[in-house]
Amino acid sequence: MSELRFDSVSLQYGSLRAVDDVSLTVPSGQVVGLVGESGSGKSSLAAAAVGLVPPTAGRILLDGADIHRLRHRKLQMVFQDPYSSLDPRMSIGESIAEAMPRGTDKRAEVARLLELVNLDPSRATSLPARLSGGQRQRVALARALAGRPEVIIADEITSALDVSVQGAVLNLVRDLQRQLGLSMLFISHNLAVVRYVSDRIAVMRSGRIVEEGTAERVLTDPQHSYTRELLAAAPSRHTSLWEDAS
């Protein structure tokens, strides 16, 4: 499908360099987990990829083409807060339909997408206020998928949710990614969450990628002391909540 590549990207807010010379590839059809403490620059990197904030240096490429020249639908983002990401005055069906390409049979496609994220299609007429946080994140995923993207950037999409529903949303993300062959940059400050969905893991600190590799390698043989700190702080694979939820 599609490869997303950051090529020596830097991003500055005034004198603060939030992203510092980052090179990172999300290979086609794979999930790259981006982990790092609060303020390390993860969301800034994502914002640059979707064109919300222009990078001050470097290039961002989708299948080799500069992202700024492309129609943005190919790359969709899902945000942390399911309460602010949906328009409270629009039914969830309308919110999803709004993101569809012209000429789509909207009613049928809304029903298909709701089923895809395990929501009853009869929910299409509900307002977001009627939904739980977990259900809203499912709608946000359906809305992102409505644009038929090739790459999804998911930024802390389970962080605002009750622990009890995080596992189900993570399972859904993993299933959808595999089923649709999506390439995904999956961002979280929580290594336990990242390792549940990722093929590869990149570790970010103070605007830089300090370590990157297959999830297996980074988790079993971390090279950077900061990665070892994160690993020590995360619950082990065997006691992880999400293993039980699957």
Residues lying near Mg ion in the complex (CB under 5 A): 43
83 contact, one of Mg ion, ligand ATP, none, CB 5-8 Å limit per kind: none
Nearer CB in complex with ligand ATP: 74/189: 189
147 contact, one of ligand ATP, Mg ion, none, CB 5-8 Å limit per kind: none
Distances (CA, A) of 124 to 86, 88, 95, 114, 169: 13, 14, 9, 8, 19
CB of 67 to ligand ATP, least distance (A): 18
* Positive or negative torsion for Cα 142, 24, 17, 208: positive
Binding string, residues 9-48; x marks residues near ligand ATP by CB under 6 A: ----x--x-x-----------------x-xxxxxxx----
- Residue 55 within binding range of ligand ATP, rule CB under 6 A: no
Nearer CB in complex with Mg ion: 45/173: 45
29 contact, one of Mg ion, ligand ATP, none, CB 5-8 Å limit per kind: none
Nearer CB in complex with ligand ATP: 141/194: 194
- From first CA to last CA, the distance across the chain in angstroms is 27
Residue closest to 110 by CA, chosen among 126, 121, 125, 119: 121
Nearer CB in complex with ligand ATP: 131/173: 173
Token pair listed for 215: 């999830």
Q: How far apart are CA 188 and CA 32, in angstroms?
A: 11
CB of 193 to ligand ATP, least distance (A): 12
Helix (H, G, I), strand (E, B) or coil at 181: coil
Alpha helices in 61-105 (DSSP H): 92-98
38 contact, one of ligand ATP, Mg ion, none, CB 5-8 Å limit per kind: ligand ATP
36 contact, one of Mg ion, ligand ATP, none, CB 5-8 Å limit per kind: ligand ATP
Q: How far apart are CA 208 and CA 44, in angstroms?
A: 12
CB of 40 to ligand ATP, least distance (A): 4
Question: With CB under 6 A, what is the number of residues at the site for ligand ATP?
Answer: 12
Distances (CA, A) of 132 to 11, 104, 117, 136, 241: 35, 28, 14, 6, 20
Binders of ligand ATP in range 181-200 (CB under 6 A): 189
CB of 32 to ligand ATP, least distance (A): 15
Residue closest to 48 by CA, chosen among 89, 18, 15: 18
Identify the residue whose tokens are 């390409």.
101
CA angle 107, 112, 113 (to 5 degrees): 100
Binding-site ranges for ligand ATP (CB under 6 A)? 13, 16, 18, 36, 38-44, 189
